[in-house]
């Protein structure tokens, strides 16, 4: 028995939807590590920002060394350098300002530059 009312017009829209879904998955695969690396590193910056005075002798220089050691350990030195940080230590608190940009290929032929400003402000114990 033949159905005269069916034309198969849903196939093209289904293929387009599948292509969009695959492109979105590929983009997420490329972009997710960028954000994961950033938020993981920011947690460590907060931890370093809380370092008490008695653990660091030359306060800001030692903090910068700790930050750069962490950058190297996480292999972020292509995007983050000493110029990316600004450290301000007062009698009661420490502030670390971080700014860097990271370019990645979202889809083939389309690159995007992600900008990451962050400020850690922690009291000194």
The string of pLDDT tens digits covering residues 69-121 is 999 999 999 999 999 999 998 888 999 999 999 999 999 999 999 999 999 99
- Asked if 69 contacts 51 with a C-beta cutoff of 8 angstroms, the reply is no
pLDDT at 8 over 80: no
Q: What is the mean predicted confidence (pLDDT) over 15-39?
A: 93
HSE-CB of 8 using CA atoms within 13 angstroms? 1
What is the percentage of the chain residues whose pLDDT exceeds 70?
91
Full-prediction pTM beyond 0.85?
no
Which of residues 89 and 56 earns the better pLDDT score?
A: 89
Average pLDDT, rounded, for the chain: 89
Domain extent listing, the chain: 10-123
């Amino acid at each position: 028995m033949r159905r005269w009312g069916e034309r198969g017009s849903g196939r093209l829209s289904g293929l387009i939807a599948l292509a969009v879904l695959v492109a979105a998955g590929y983009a997420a695969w490329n972009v997710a590590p960028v954000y994961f690396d950033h938020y993981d590193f920011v947690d460590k910056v907060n931890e370093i920002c809380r370092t008490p005075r008695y653990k660091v002798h030359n306060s800001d220089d030692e903090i910068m060394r700790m930050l750069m050691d962490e950058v190297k350990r996480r292999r972020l030195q292509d995007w983050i350098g000493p110029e990316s940080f600004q450290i301000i230590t007062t009698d009661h608190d420490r502030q670390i300002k971080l700014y860097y940009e990271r370019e990645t290929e979202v889809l083939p032929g389309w690159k995007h530059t992600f900008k990451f400003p962050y400020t850690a402000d922690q009291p000194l114990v």
